[in-house]
Amino acid sequence: MMAKKGFTLIELLVVIAIIAILASILFPVFSQARAKARQAACLNNFKQVGTGMLQYTQDYDECFPYNRFYGITGAAFQNWKYGILPYVRNLQVYECPETRAQIARMLDDTVRKWRGSRLDETWADCHPESPWFRGDELCVVPQQANLWFPRGYTVNGAVFNLAAGIGWSTAPRRQPDLQVPAETIWLQDGRNVEPDTGPWALVRCWPAPPGDSLGGDVPDPSSPVGFVRQFGWLINHLKGVIFNYADGHAKWTRLPMAVDRNDWKWACLQRPGEQTFHPPGMQDYTSAICRQPDAPTCRALAVALMAAEYK
């Protein structure tokens, strides 16, 4: 009689265990490779947008594009994306490949457009299908062009949150206004519906109370204040963020480094002798606004909060 050959139960379990171990090793590697590819695609977008911004400033006497334009009822019917569109000629470069997945959990909010709008502020204010549609007369501009931009890339609100409306405008930010354009963030990879995001929403020297529904805060023991902001406004690229600086160059950087250098040029993160632009009329550090005794303390808390949020 010939004995039948086959795996014993022990041999089969050993093979399954080896496969499981290999899978646990390789799957994170594949996931990181995909994330790295999306990071590279986003960096390429930033380079194109930064080049478009430089071309714009060359054509408009070294002035940066306005952050947004307001209609008669206060609707934001245009923003900086429209200003540089003739130079980039592609809507896809305004959206990071990571954005849709990272904002998907926010889009069921039908009350707050800055959390619930599926496209940027112009769509939220001017598209008839939007729950926040204002019906502003100047909304005819994007409506006739059928031009709606994705949400995501936002300018640095501490320096470039300048706007114009019917019969009024703030002075545009000019390149000569900046002492160190190569160290001043112009654009950041975010998920905000608005065309700008201020560093006060990003690095937060003061936290909101735990459970704050507006901040989306959730308990987290790794945070120095016991919770983190669930709806962080920056896109997490392998524990870093992509920025475009005012001289046009783009790079990926760790958030603690951007805070330590105060790349937003925000008064609450001010370094000795540094030029800052916000709050307007009170550019130097003030504890009354920043809610910390000094700027180094503010920077240290900001780094600790982000380390927990973007771990």
Please say whether the beta carbons of 133 and 126 come within 8 A: yes
186-238 pLDDT per residue, tens: 999 988 899 999 998 888 777 666 666 556 677 888 888 788 876 678 888 88
Kindly write down the DSSP assignment for every residue of 183-210, as one continuous string: GSEEEEEEEESSSEE-HHHHT-SSPPPT
What mean pLDDT, rounded, does the chain reach? Answer: 88
Please say whether the beta carbons of 97 and 152 come within 8 A: no
- Domain ranges across the chain: 26-309
Split at pLDDT 50, 70, 90, the class of 130 is: very high
45-93 pLDDT per residue, tens: 999 999 999 999 999 999 999 999 999 999 999 999 999 999 998 999 9
Strand order through the sheet with 196-197 = 196-197, 152-156, 185-192, 241-245, 250-253
For position 212, what pLDDT does the model report?
60
92-125 pLDDT per residue, tens: 999 999 888 878 877 877 888 888 898 999 999 9
The DSSP H or E segment spanning 138 is none
The amino acid present at 250, given as its one-letter code, is A
